[in-house]
Structures are given as C-alpha cells and as structure tokens.
Amino acid sequence: MKRTAPKLLLILICCCLLLPLAGCGPRGQKIAFFIYKSNDTFISELMEYMTAGVPEGVSFEVRDAGNSQSVQNQQIVELFGGGFDLFVINAVDRLACSAIIEKCEKEDLPVIFFNREPPEDLLISSGIFYVGADAENQGRKQAEMVAELFTKKFAGSKYDKNSDGIVQLVILKGEQGHQDAEKRTDSCVARFKELGFTADILGIEVADWNRRDGYDAMRRLYEQFGDGIELVFSNNDDMALGAIDFLLDRRVFSPDSPIDEQPFVIVGVDGTAVGLDAIGRGLLYGTVYNDSVKQADAILALVDYILNDKSFDDFPYAITKGYYINTDGDIITQANVTDFMGR
C-alpha cells in the first residue's frame, strides 16, 4: 500500500464523516474505527493505510477520542444501533476494554482491537481479535542493534565516557502501564544484559509516546545526568525525536555531524517517516520497524473475513491463542534505511 495524503486522515477525523466507498454491497456493510488520538504519528500512518484499503462495498466512520477514555466510551455508545457490522478499536485505556467488550457483546458486534492490547483474560469471546506488534521482540532488537555497535566500539571508545566498562543509559518510556511500553522497556534491558553488557540505568522518564513530552523528558534527564549519558533507549521514534530536538537546541547534538560523531546513541521503535528521516540525517542511530503496513493489512483481512463470514482455515496471518495477530519488524539503521523509505 502507498502512503496517502496526510490531509485525508485529518479530514476524516475532524469531520467524523460517514464515507461510503464506491459500489456499496447489498448489506450496506459499515465499520467504525475508534482511535485513542490522531496526533500519534504511528497511529496516523496506520490509519492512512487502513482507510485507503477498506474493502469495496463497505462504508466507514473514524472517531478520535483525543486521548480521553470517557470520550471514547461515549463515541462507542453513540454508534450502537447505527447499523454497524464491526468495530475496530484502538482503546485509550486498555483496562477499559472489559466494559467495551461487554457492551459490544450485548449488541452482537464483533470487535478488532489494535495497538493497545486488552488484558489477556478478556479476549475469550468469539469475534474478538487483537492485532499488534511483538513488543518484547522489539525491545530485544533494540538491545541487539546497540550491542552490535558497542561490541565493536564501546570498550575504550568515546562512547564509554568514564572508561568504566559500564553503559550508563536512560529510558524514555511510552506510557505507564501500556503493555508495549512495559514490554519494550523490560525486554531491551534484559536482552542487553544477556548479551554481556553491564548497564547502569540512570533514569526512566515517561513521555506518553509524544515528541513534545520526549523533549521535556530529555531536558530533565540531561539536566540531571548531562554528559554521563551514554545510551538512550526510547520506546518509540516520536519520543526519541523529541529528545533529539532538545539536544539540538542545546547544541549537544550537531545537525551536520555523522552518526558516529554524535556524543551518544539514541534508538527508537516504529520506523515512522520522520524517524527514518532522522536516521538518514545521522541523528537517530536506529529503530525497530513497527510494521504499520502489515498491521493494517492484517486488520483489513480480518474485516473481510468477519464481514463475509469466511472460514479462517486459510487466513493469511497466523492467529495465536485464538485471537492474537502479532507482527514482527526489522532493525533499521543507516545501512538499510533507504529500503524502508516510501513504504
């Protein structure tokens, strides 16, 4: 799938229009997308792919909760009885999914959750699915990406600023309690240690997946630890870019220096267009691809199979535990970043 104009998503969300696609089928099939907030870069890209690929003959509506669970609850209730055949939900608060599932079951509405995983014990109902990334593997790949660099260059190099053989690192955490943030954080540190490195975690700041909050989080960390920072693990690209914005403003990072001349290493997760650009410019060392194209395709495949009551015997994606579809992603650095641009 090709990228569509960003204005398309903004129009869809801001206006909340019911948009019929050409050739509506005899059932007048309708689906509703509910997203936690539209200014999340990854979610925005994912929605562009999904709305561009909705099956012919199906109309859809997009609702943006603006990061408010109460708003999202009201949006869901408002669309009950509106003739919808399927809800596709990116929940604001994963712990609210119990009430959402209960309400949808009463309305006999199948549900696909994505990106924010409901607690596992809730996904036991027929017609409930979850599509997302393998967050633990993303964290492990962050560590492996850095380990490859540090194995060659850390000991005795400029990256080991105090020559103690210990990696002093800080973490930008996406959201307290979010399953991907917790798994990426825990697994990247654990894997880093498994690979033989001794790590000293100087600080962890929650920055809510947001570039602006990433800026503020990096400011606090840098003001406290300064040049003692040797590595930054960020749960996503937007927070990493916010950290880079701060470091550029403080002239800690140089916009014109190659990646191996920046004072320390920052890695992210997602592989958004802006993240890939930062890798190409030598500001972000690397990222782990959160495959929005594949996730959108998996969701759209579920939409097709559910709406048309198809047998899942030949479903194109592996479904684990009866409801999970997890996608994997590659490590991206300057060595291969051009392969991912324009996807």
Do 186 and 237 fall within a single domain? yes
| φ and ψ of 204, to 5 deg | -125, 125
Identify whether residues 172 and 262 lie together within a single domain: yes
Q: Average the pLDDT over 17-23 and give the result.
A: 37
pTM of the model: 0.85
Do 47 and 143 fall within a single domain? Answer: no
| pLDDT for res 123 | 66
For residue 107, give its domain range: 6-126+292-327
- Which of 42, 28, 33, 31 shows the shortest CA–CA distance to 13? 33
User: By three-state DSSP, how is residue 326 classified?
Assistant: strand
Strands (E), the chain: 30-35, 59-64, 86-89, 111-114, 128-133, 167-173, 199-206, 231-234, 265-270, 286-289, 324-327, 331-333
More confident residue, 1 or 65: 65
- The whole-angstrom separation of Cα 193 and Cα 71 is 42
Co-location of 281 and 305 in the same domain? no
Considering the domain boundaries, does residue 343 fall inside one?
no
Strand partners, 287: 268, 332
Boundary (domain end) residue, out of 242, 259, 289 = 289
Q: In this structure, are 218 and 260 located in the same domain?
A: yes
Please check whether residues 150 and 96 belong to one and the same domain: no
**Does residue 74 share a domain with residue 163?**
no
Mark whether 71 and 32 lie in a shared domain.
yes
Q: 249 and 194, same structural domain?
A: yes
Q: Is the pLDDT of residue 70 over 60?
A: yes
Provide the β-strand partners of residue 324. Answer: 130, 320
For residue range 143-168, list pLDDT tens digits in order: 999 987 887 655 556 778 888 889 99
- For the chain, what is the domain count? 2
Is 100 in contact with 122 (CB distance < 8 Å)? Answer: no
Inside any domain, residue 84: yes
What are 97-138's pLDDT values in tens digits?
Answer: 888 998 998 999 999 999 988 877 666 666 789 999 999 999
